[in-house]
Structure 1
Amino acid sequence: MTTLLQKSPIDRTVLSNGIVVLVTENPAADIIAARIFVRAGSCCETREQAGLAHLLSAVMTKGCDGLSSLEIAEKVESVGASLSADTSTDYFLLSLKTVTSDFPEILALAGQIVRSPTFPETQVELERRLALQDIRSQKEQPFTIAFDQLRQVMYQDHPYAMSVLGDETTMSRLTRADLVNYHQTYFRPDNIVISVAGRITSAGALKLVTDIFGDWQATTTAPPIQNFPDIKSKPQHQIKPLQTQQSIVMLGYLAPSVSSPDYAALKLLSTYLGNGLSSRLFVELREKQGLAYEVSAFYPTRLFPASFVVYMGTAPENTSIALQGLRTEVELLSHTEVSTDAFQAAKNKILGQYALGKQTNGQIAQVFGWYETLGLGIEFDQKFPEMIADVQVQDTIAAAHQYLQAPYLSLVGPEAAINSAIA
């Protein structure tokens, strides 16, 4: 049954096999973009198989039933289309974009890839070697080292503790059989969201998706239920001595998922603190005090408990004062009202960036498919700006008081500098 939501340009249909189809008609340009989401990302891996979803995304487009990697590439490139696969903590994603006339052919190809990948052994081995190179190169990047050790100490046994790439040990032992098993377990129609945006009618898109995916039937076995361990870690610090030109100082706070009533207030605080050249951290710690090479804050939207992170890259001799500066700025949020002008500026910034993030068909397909996959519903697109607009200063103080009190600390830099900072 198709339901057209009030004030929404999106048609949402659930096929008989469980696939959710979202269609946004946008005839402005002769282009169609689609996103095929699978409700399975790196959070569905065991710790022993960390990196499995990433490896699957890398190999997914390298062969499917009846087509080699080269043949797939030729089909896509011969019409100037794009097709790629990616994975995140909470979902797998196949993205495609074509001119309108080529959309049926490329969507059909995407259907073959999603339903019948072959995972050729030579491609598995190649992509595993490339992933191992990425893992090793990240060991030389101070920010990545700092974030990895922060994530591990915060999340411990929870899947969010691991990098999407896994580590050298887990990536090295992944096999083609592991990819096949993961695909058979999670790639099923009742676990799929297909979001389409562009010059196509809802009826036309629905017919195409039904023709390509409608005969795909799920097994009678229910998809696995994720039972993640509770996060019981206590704030502590992790240090990594490294001979670098700067120290990375990073504070992390366990924060709620996107479904929390405090999500909007924390999103606004993240924007106020560390989003852009006018943000509080940039002005106070870089412009006024000259402490930071780079400084920022982020609070990602997650299906499960997220992390609220502030960080700074600073000269090694400034490590201690930089740490104190970051802590002070976050602590202020719990007992000091943000000025009316700064508060409204943060709201304007986040709402403006949100609107600008939905200009292209690809962005539109991404946003609505993502919301559906996270279980928020496509109406969240309307709710989010309202939630931000409704946040009051006292809401941010209450959220900061609840979540931003006891930080986890991650330091990377010259040994003497980081040891003195925690002395």
Structure 2
Amino acid sequence: MKRGFNLINLLTHLLLTTLLLLALCFSSLCLAQSQPRKTILENGLTILTKENHSSDIVALEVFIKVGASAEDEEKAGISNFIQELLLSSKEEIIGEIESLGGIIDTTVSSDYAELFLLLPSEYFSKAFKLFSELLKTPKFDPEEIERKRKIILQQIKAEEDELFDSTYNLFRETLYQGSPYHKPVLGYKETIEGIKREDLLNFYKTYYVPNNTIISVSGDFITEELIKEIEEHFKELKSGQLPLRQIKRPKEQTEHQEVIKERESESAWLILGFPAPKAKSKDYPALKLIDCILGSEMSSRLFVNLREKLGLAYEVGSFFPSQRDAGHFATYIITSPRQIDKVKSGIIWEIAKLKQMAVSEEELEEAKKCLLGTFIMDHERNKKQAFYLGFYELLGVGYLFDEEYPQKIEAVTSLQIKRVAQRYFQNYTLAVIMPGGK
């Protein structure tokens, strides 16, 4: 075990050295790129652009500021339903875009619905004209709606069969009681079965409007020409009257809460976490570093102490999703059913140490290198650069946050880490799925 631990340390140091070299290269590369620019059209459409002529690729993201958190309980899953229909309603357009070397995809989260386009810059104008039609004139064909309904119901069943997804959904349902963030993106069997074509049309007309949309683009283009092109295709769309966004806060948690379900499984799956702030919080950078220190890397405390030293985990880690409103910080572990109590105590002890003892300067510096190295590698492609421009604008921290992120991480101190851990890691929520079902 000790030999394996030393090997992990060696590999970790090699990785950090590589990431540091990448950071130096990244700084030089940034000088060759233009600064991001924000333009708002008369109808309220937000356009974010960043020229990058290092390759002949253009990446475009469309964010609609609506997701599972904006849905009525009885219409849970309708955002995802619409996104699925947008890509299937005009298959001939998808085929034309793909024939030009384009890649098109869609995703939905609690905070947004996203459409993505990536292709060679020489074909961008032709492909974007086709792409805009997907957004502006969806068919919502009754037969296609029923076909997609069956597919989504199959996806819901598949998600229920996946033990991590089931544990995470159980965790969210428990943590976010009273808040729309408790809902899974796919919705529920009952809600998907009950959604009508009229519901889809009304939701689309309400939220898929210019003043609720962000288009972010990174790649090989001239900004002024691109903005004119986008305006040409979307200028006829009128801004809409958006419903007032009122996100209920989760039920205040005054004590620990635990929920256990039995399933057919050989292992036990645990997620233990806490309510956490939204991305706009001043504590956001510190929590990103805590995630790195505690569980998101192979050199993290949970991995080293619970898996490598004590042998309590098959898999262990942590995550801190960036969210527009109510956030959460979570740890997860897959273990033997016999070890559940030991694992739970081990996680709680590691969290307690963060609250009681300041992180050493050496460990904090290693975490910063690792986090910023990952950030740099994540930004090597235009797709991610376009994504983060729109993503941070949508979250409310502004499109320039992506440029400021490294400085914010570097500014975090050991005392801040301790203070933030004390503030947010109080009453935990524990979700467990363990063997026992038939």
The residue aligned with 1:77 is: 98
Q: Does 1:231 align with 2:250?
A: yes
Deviation at 1:255, TM superposition (A): 0.6
Q: Is the 8 A contact 1:61 1:72 kept in 2?
A: no
Question: Residues 178 and 251 of structure 2 are in contact (CA less than 8 Å); yes or no, is this contact kept in structure 1?
Answer: no
1:188-219 Cα deviation digits (max 9, x unpaired): 11111111111110111111111111222224
Contact 1:19 1:193 in 2 (8 A): yes
CA contact under 8 A between 1:153 and 1:233: conserved in structure 2?
A: no
**d(CA) in 1 for partners of 2:268 and 2:322?**
27
Q: Structure 1 residues 42 and 162 mapped into 2: Cα distance closer, same or farther (>3 Å)?
A: same
Asked if 1 retains the 8 angstrom alpha-carbon contact of 2:179 and 2:249, the reply is yes
* Counterpart for residue 209 of structure 2: 188
Give the C-alpha shift of residue 390 in structure 1. 0.9
Pairing of 1:14-413 with structure 2 (within 5 A)? 14-63=40-89, 69-219=90-240, 222-234=241-253, 235-413=256-434
Q: In the aligned structure 2, how far is the partner of 1:24 from the partner of 1:146?
A: 39
Identity value in percent: 32
Question: In 2, Cα distance between the equivalents of 1:229 and 1:77?
Answer: 42
Q: CA–CA distance in 2 between the matches of 1:108 and 1:37?
A: 17
Query: 1-side partners of 2:34 and 2:274: how far apart?
Result: 35
Q: Deviations over 1:370-417 (max 9, x none)?
A: 11222221221122211111111111111111110210111111249x
> What SS does structure 2 have at the residue aligned with 1:139?
helix
Residue of structure 2 in register with 1:3 after alignment: none
What are the Cα deviations for residues 329-359 of structure 1, in whole angstroms up to 9, with x where unaligned?
1111110122222111111111111111111
Moved over 3 A (4+): none
Matched residue SS, 2:107: strand
Shifted more, 349-358 versus 378-387: the winner is: 378-387
Residue 9 in 1 paired to residue 28 in 2? no
Assess if the C-alpha contact under 8 Å between 2:265 and 2:436 holds in 1.
Answer: no
Pick closer, same or farther for the CA change 1:205–1:265 going to 2, 3 Å: same
User: 2: distance between equivalents of 1:145 and 1:105?
Assistant: 42
Aligned partners of 1:311 and 1:326 also within 8 Å? no
SS at match of 1:211: helix
Contact 2:379–2:385 (CA under 8 A) maintained in structure 1: yes
Contact 2:275 2:326 in 1 (8 A): yes
> In the TM superposition, what is the alpha-carbon distance from 1:243 to its structure 2 partner?
2.7
Q: Which amino acid aligns with 2:174?
A: V
Task: List runs of 5+ in structure 1 lacking aligned partners.
Answer: 1-6, 64-68, 417-423
CA displacement at 1:35 relative to structure 2 = 0.7
**Deviation, structure 1 residue 70:** 3.0
Is the alpha carbon distance of 1:233 and 1:415 closer, same or farther for their aligned partners in structure 2, counting shifts above 3 Å? farther
Count of matched residue pairs: 403
8 A contact 2:286–2:417 mirrored in 1:
yes
Distance apart, 1:280 and its partner CA: 0.9
In the aligned structure 2, how far is the partner of 1:8 from the partner of 1:314?
48
Shift, 1:102, TM fit: 1.3
Q: Distance in 2 between matches of 1:27 and 1:231?
A: 45
- Whole-Å separation in 1 of the counterparts to 2:269 and 2:127: 44
What amino acid is aligned across from residue 231 of structure 1 in structure 2?
P
Give the counterpart letter for 1:15 in structure 2.
L
Residue 233 of structure 1 and its aligned partner are, at CA, apart by 4.0
Q: Could you say which residue in structure 2 is the equivalent of 1:420? A: none
Q: Aligned-pair distance for 1:230?
A: 2.4
SS for the counterpart of 2:356 is coil
C-alpha separation between the residues in 1 aligned to 2:143 and 2:374?
42
Say if 1:158 and 1:228, in contact at 8 Å, map to a contact too: yes
Alignment TM-score, normalising by the size of structure 1: 0.92
